[in-house]
Amino acid sequence: MSEPSAPYHPSTLPGTRRSRTAPGLAVAALLLALVATGCTGTDHGERGATQAAPAPVGVTGPLCDVLPAGTDPGNPASLAGEPVDVALQWIPVLTRFEAALRASGLAPELRGMTGLTILAPTDDAFGGKFSEDTLDELFIERKDDLRALLKAHIVDGSHPLAELVAAGRVTTLDGTPVEVTASGTMARVAGQAGTLCADYRAVNARIHIIDKVLGKLPTDADGGEHRSH
| pLDDT > 60? residue 42 | no
CB atoms within 10 A of CB 159: 22
Indicate the pLDDT class of residue 56, thresholds 50, 70 and 90.
low
User: If residue 174 lies in a helix (H) or strand (E), which one and from where to where?
Assistant: none
Indicate the pLDDT class of residue 112, thresholds 50, 70 and 90.
confident
Taken in order of first residue, the domains within the chain and their CATH numbers are: 24-55 (no CATH), 58-210 (2.30.180.10)
Between 73 and 37, name the one with better pLDDT: 73
Tally the C-alpha atoms within 13 A of residue 62's C-alpha that lie toward its C-beta: 10
| pLDDT > 90? residue 143 | yes
Residue 112: which region, alpha, beta or left (left: phi > 0; alpha: psi -120 to 50)?
alpha
| pLDDT > 80? residue 203 | yes
| pLDDT > 70? residue 27 | no
3-state secondary structure of 3: coil
Report how far Cα 183 is from the mean position of its chain's Cα atoms.
18
The stretch 151-177 carries a mean pLDDT of 98
Between 116 and 35, name the one with better pLDDT: 116
Give the Cα separation of 86 and 79 in Å (integer): 8
